[in-house]
Amino acid sequence: MLALQSPLDMHLHLREQEMLQLVAPLSARSFAGAVIMPNLVQPVNSRDRLVSYRRAIVSACGTDTFIPYMTLFFREYTREELLAVRQDIIGIKLYPAGITTQSDAGVRDFDSIAATVSLLEELDIPLLVHGESSGFVMDRETEFLQVYAKLAGNFPKLRVVMEHISTAASLEFLERYNNVAATVTLHHLLLTLDDVAGGLLQPHLFCKPIAKTPRDRDALRQAVLQGHPQLMFGSDSAPHPRHAKECCGCAAGIFSAPVALPMLVQLFDGAGCLEALQTFVTGNAVRFYRIKPPEKMVQLRQKSWRVPEVYGTVRPFLAGQELQWSFADQDN
Ligand code: NCD
Ligand code: ZN
């Protein structure tokens, strides 16, 4: 038996309507809270949208204790707007325009964002960043490091989160700044580009940023297993219906919510590093974001189960595979 105290998912896509109803309970079962991404069809970029989205999430989670830590989609904000919303958000999420799912309203010109970024620094609102350039797909994250360097260097009091890092270079970069932290997904700890495109193409493993080299994966894995203090778990669970994945023009995103916690336990346990897991799923996030998550004990036991082939319209990460750890209250 393993008891985790208030595990958190610091990067999560819950979508809306039927998809929200389907996926929110699966995150609420595993986690005490999650950072909710704002890239809806209509981006969450006003207090009104944020409040109604949060209400829909809470209602979709039913009776499970689960705090949605809300984010606003980056645009130019005034001081008044930010002051009005400060208590309702954990941060602002910046997407480069067009880089990933529903990011068309993102930033086109990084020279134009200084005024808003400076307000975030002054008001102590963290900036969460999807850090990819529009260059060659395997180099995008590394090319973006120069933008991170400007953000972290020019705004030394701004807390910056490098979302879903996928390279050894990002890890090395991170260690040079004490105002920067990063989220790491489960899939970037497990996959390389070979798993996605080395044999038959695997649309359900296609995501942004794309999985990289074995060296990158192993560097990330080693860092989290050793309890790296700047790394927080963020699943980036990003459900798309099968028809949007199994088609010509596959959407980017891996739906990992139902398997994230059991598979993390399996990974850390297999490496003999279980004591580092609590730090990765709670401690580092609590310290960096200065949050106090609700008390919620999540218990897992060493009993195998087979991951379903589908949840409703969505195929999960590790579908059909046998995992060694399950939730203590799970009917296997
Ligand atoms: C995410 C999505 O589908 O919203 N997709 C993904 O591949 N990770 C967006 C994102 O975080 O890039
Ligand atoms: Zn994401």
Query: Is ligand 1 within 6 A of the CB of residue 121?
Result: no
Q: Retrieve residue 152's tokens.
A: 């972290």
Assess if residue 314 is contained within a domain: no
Count of domains forming the chain: 1
Query: Which residues hold their Cβ within 5 A of ligand 2, which is an ion?
Result: 236
User: Token match 């609102």: residue?
Assistant: 125
Query: Which percentage of the chain shows pLDDT scores above 90?
Result: 97
Assess if residue 91 is contained within a domain: yes
Helix, strand or coil, per DSSP, at residue 70: strand
The pLDDT-based confidence of 263 (bands split at 50, 70, 90) is: very high
Active site residues: 236
Assess if residue 291 is contained within a domain: no
Where in the sequence is the domain holding 17, given as residue range(s)? 9-260
Atom of ligand 1 nearest to the CA of 253: 7
Ligand 2 center to residue 1 CA distance, Å? Answer: 31
Task: Tell me the pLDDT tens digit for each residue of 50-95.
Answer: 999 999 999 999 989 999 999 999 999 999 999 999 999 999 999 9
Q: Retrieve residue 270's tokens.
A: 């297999």
* β-bridge pairing 8-12 and 297-301: unpaired
What is the pTM for the complete model shown? Answer: 0.98
Whether 332 shows a pLDDT value over 90: the answer reads: no
Distance (Å, whole) CA 210 – CA 193: 7
Report the candidate in 113, 176, 172, 114 with the shortest Cα–Cα distance to residue 141: 172
Query: Is ligand 1 within 6 A of the CB of residue 100?
Result: yes
Pure H helices in the chain: 17-30, 47-60, 79-85, 114-123, 140-154, 168-174, 187-190, 193-197, 214-225, 242-245, 260-270, 277-278, 284-289
Assess if residue 275 is contained within a domain: no
Ligand 1 center to residue 302 CA distance, Å? Answer: 31
Distance (Å, whole) CA 55 – CA 62: 11
Assess if residue 299 is contained within a domain: no
Backbone angles phi, psi at 189, to 5 degrees: -85, -15
From 207, 210, 212, 245, mutation site for ligand 1 pocket: most ligand atoms within 8 A of C-beta = 207
Per-residue model confidence (pLDDT) at position 215: 98
Assess if residue 312 is contained within a domain: no
Mean pLDDT of the chain: 97
> Mean pLDDT throughout 35-41?
98
Assess if residue 187 is contained within a domain: yes
> Mean pLDDT throughout 20-25?
98
The one-letter code for the residue type at 139 is D
Q: By the 8 A CB rule, do 212 and 265 touch?
A: no
Per-residue model confidence (pLDDT) at position 4: 98
Per-residue model confidence (pLDDT) at position 6: 98
Query: Is ligand 1 within 6 A of the CB of residue 16?
Result: no
User: Token match 């984010």: residue?
Assistant: 71
Query: Is ligand 1 within 6 A of the CB of residue 39?
Result: yes
Q: Which ligand is nearest to the CA of 131?
A: 1
Q: Which ligand is nearest to the CA of 141?
A: 1
Assess if residue 220 is contained within a domain: yes
Helix, strand or coil, per DSSP, at residue 299: strand
> Mean pLDDT throughout 266-288?
98
Task: Tell me the pLDDT tens digit for each residue of 115-171.
Answer: 999 999 999 999 999 999 999 999 999 999 999 999 999 999 999 999 999 999 999
Per-residue model confidence (pLDDT) at position 45: 98
Distance (Å, whole) CA 82 – CA 269: 42
Per-residue model confidence (pLDDT) at position 247: 98
The pLDDT-based confidence of 188 (bands split at 50, 70, 90) is: very high
Distance (Å, whole) CA 271 – CA 189: 13
Per-residue model confidence (pLDDT) at position 331: 82
Pure H helices in 155-241: 168-174, 187-190, 193-197, 214-225
Query: Is ligand 1 within 6 A of the CB of residue 238?
Result: yes
Query: Which percentage of the chain shows pLDDT scores above 70?
Result: 100
In DSSP terms, 71 is beta-bridged to 91
The pLDDT-based confidence of 101 (bands split at 50, 70, 90) is: confident
Per-residue model confidence (pLDDT) at position 318: 98
Atom of ligand 1 nearest to the CA of 164: 11
10 Å Cβ neighbour count for 295? 9
Whether 233 shows a pLDDT value over 90: the answer reads: yes
Backbone angles phi, psi at 58, to 5 degrees: -60, -40
CATH at 142: 3.20.20.140
Query: Is ligand 1 within 6 A of the CB of residue 208?
Result: yes
